[in-house]
Every structure is written in structure tokens, then in C-alpha cells.
Amino acid sequence: MTNFGSSKYMGAVNFTGILSNDHTENPVVIRFLQLEYSCHKDGTKLFFRGLRIWKAVVDELMGKGMDAAKQALLTGCSAGSLAALLHCDNFHGRFPHEVSVKCLSDAGFFIDEKDLSGERSMRSLISGVVHLQNVKEVLPNDCLQKKDPTECFFPAELIKGITTPTFILNSDYDSWQIRNILAPNGSYPGQEWSSCKADIRNCSCAQLDVLHGFKKKLVSELKVAEDNKDWGLFIDSCFTHCQTPFDITWNSPISPRLGNKSISEAVGDWYFDRRQNAKQIDCEYPCNPTCSSLLPTA
């Protein structure tokens, strides 16, 4: 066992939420491939094999029967959601034209917003990822002709180039983004925001106004998805992060609901083409009574 951990001693992790094959827990049983992205760049001493691993895993799954699939869904949560967006069209291209291929992005719609101190701390973080892992190679060319690779890595730009039907699931009061993009440690004096970002119920009226502004920015950047008839949206106002992997958010008596649909129902309607317009954007916090304080936060 090292300071970096060891898979040899890891405890078992149960497949829950969208990963469950139990119909009582997951009415939308879908085989999944979840990933995180890294890219390999020749000529360096540090090698990132993510892109090669991605290709190898897809090849392996194709050889194990995925090539005969009639429907396929690529999904990821948080950082894995970014990877799903990056590889969405590539994944689609691995299947024959008649196969229904779709993508689901959960809690990965990170926005390029200034923090409370006026700095773009998230852009700095993303810039490090883009340059260290040479992500430029898989970014949309149309964006790269006009903007810096770092800007092109944000989902607001990525979704402009995706042709595969995609479902965006996100909270517009995403707990991880509030804690790490809007109000990271050091961006505010003392403990002024500590209680608020720990639990949205502790936020003052002034702080909620700031959060409402964050929500408006996120929703405005979803316009491309909102206008695409083949895409789906479930943008709730719950203080949470990553909603597909957990039973409590995916499909339970206290799951967040929009338009009287749980997340699993909304995704299922969109995935199986049971509903023409599978798009729901919530009102401002605290308007949604189905947002439980028991939901997981990052």
C-alpha cells in the first residue's frame, strides 16, 4: 500500500443508479462505458495513455458483442462527463448508421465564470489540463480557429460541434461548481462563504443573488442544446453534483423531479424516443420542493 493508494486493497463499489441492472432500482437498464480523458503526446517524459486506452476499451467491447448493439449510450459524471462530450461523435462513428447512438453528460457542464475575487480560477485549472495532456488534438476545429484551446474545452463550446443526440443533466446550483469555481477557498475574506457553500440553506439573501447569477450564466450557455430538437435537458435547482450514479437521485421517492418526471424517467423518455421534447429547466432555488437536503454533494 502506497500513499497513492492501491486497487488491491480497494473496497467493492456497488453499481447503483444508472449503473444498476436491477429493474426495481433502475427502470432504464443500460449497459455503460464510463471514462475519464487523457491524451498521449510523443516526445515527452510523462505519458498520458487515456486516448489509447479509450480506443482499446471500445475495441475490446466491440469484440465482446457491442458491435451488435441496436442502441448505445456513452455517459460520464463530472470529469467523466467532459470525456463523454469529447468522445461522443467518435463513439457514434464506431457504429453502423442504423444504430441509435446517444450521449449523456451528468454534472459536467462546467462554466468559464469568474470567482468571487474576480479571477478565473477554473480557466487556469482547465488550461493546465489542456496543455499538459495535449487535449487540443480532440477539440472542435471550428472553435480552435477563433478561440484559445482552453476556451474550446469548456462544454459551452464543445456542444456546438457535437452532432450526436446528447442529454445534459446538471444542477444549475451545482455544489462542486459553487465550491470550486464560484467560491473557491481564498476568493473571499475569512469564512464569509464557508457556511453557504457547505449547505445552500445557509446562504444569505445577498449570497443567493450571486448564486442566481451563476444559474443564469449556466442556463444561457445551454441555448445550443435547448434549440436542438434531438437533445434532452434536465437542469434542476438542487444543491448536488453527479445525479446518475446514485439511487437517491436517479430513481427513488425523493429523487429530484421536473415536469413531474424523475431523472430516470426523463432520461428514459429521451433515450427511447418516448417523448418529443425532453427538455426541462428548473426555476430559481428554493422553488423545487423535490430538492432534498439528503442529495449527495461533492
Contacts of 127 (CB under 8 A, 6+ apart): 150
Tell me the torsion sign for CA atoms 212, 214, 219, 220.
positive
d(Cα 78, Cα 202) in Å, to the nearest integer? 25
Whether 282 sits among the annotated catalytic residues: the reply is no
189 upstream amide cis, omega within 30 of 0:
no
Selecting among 174, 236, 269, 282, the annotated active-site residue is 174
Closest Cα to residue 107, out of 39, 73, 155? Answer: 155
Whether 78 sits among the annotated catalytic residues: the reply is yes
Whether 209 sits among the annotated catalytic residues: the reply is no
Closest Cα to residue 271, out of 30, 47, 19? Answer: 30
CA–centroid distance for 60 within its chain? 25
DSSP state of 166: E
What is the maximum alpha-carbon separation in the chain? 58
Task: Tell me the HSE value of 196 on the side-chain side, using a 13 A CA sphere.
Answer: 22
Q: Strands 166-171 and 232-236: what pairing?
A: parallel
Selecting among 78, 171, 175, 262, the annotated active-site residue is 78
* Amino acid identity at 265: E
Selecting among 81, 87, 172, 241, the annotated active-site residue is 241
d(Cα 292, Cα 203) in Å, to the nearest integer? 16
CB atoms within 10 A of CB 9: 7
Q: Which cell goes with 167? A: 442529454
Catalytic residues: 78, 174, 241
